[in-house]
Chain A
Amino acid sequence: QVNLLQSGAALVKPGASVKLSCKASGYTFTDYYIHWVKQSHGKSLEWIGYINPNSGYTNYNEKFKSKATLTVDKSTNTAYMELSRLTSEDSATYYCTRFGGGLWYFDYWGQGVMVTVSS
């Protein structure tokens, strides 16, 4: 069965960076894009960007272009998102989600990882 397993919660200091992981299983990793979505506490969902695991091509929401960097490791079926120069505004739950395969919507989601930025 399809599963997207995300890394554990992170507590990071302002100004630091954090790298989140999303390990895919149960399907061919390179057949689907991986998108990342931000959800601030009690708020709606914001699309950050996506990566094509096959080519490494990325597309970012303009709002997150200088904040997020998406990469993949095809050998381990893992997608990564690095968030840089963290501030309190980056405290949120971040989800990875699968997209593609003829269904151009987010059909499977990771369990989410909470990032807390605090000194």
Chain B
Amino acid sequence: DIQMTQSPASLSASLEEIVTITCQASQDIGNWLAWYQQKPGKSPQLLIYGATSLADGVPSRFSGSRSGTQYSLKISRLQVEDIGIYYCQQASSAPWTFGGGTKLELK
């Protein structure tokens, strides 16, 4: 199975701050990488797919990038509504696997 190692596990940031979350794949997955946001008590929501493409309705302050087998999610100016847990997920091959999550809190 492909392992997805996400860091940091938790992150505290101020409003308007730039936030970056990373995800390391255990093998080459190309651009088959998605990011999801999960707010407390809610279902995950697709943010980024294909490593860099923004899902419908997602604010442009979110962006994704790739360097080899390392993937990053960047929030350019943190807003209150961005608080939650973020997960990466590889869609290269079954079994689809998720990272351990990054809990983003306000400082």
Contacts and interface: CB of A to CB of B under 8 A. Distances in A.
Given A95-B43, A107-B55, A111-B43, A45 B87 contact: yes
Chain B residues touching A, majority SS: loop
A42 to B, nearest CB: 10
Interface residues of A, number: 19
A112 B19 CA distance: 28
Consensus secondary structure, chain A interface: strand
A109 B18 CA distance: 28
A106 B98 contact: no
B65 to A, nearest CB: 17
Contacts of B99: 44
Interface of B: 32, 34, 36, 43-46, 49-50, 55, 87, 89, 91, 94-101
6 contacts: A45-B44, A45-B89, A47-B98, A61-B95, A104-B91, A105-B50
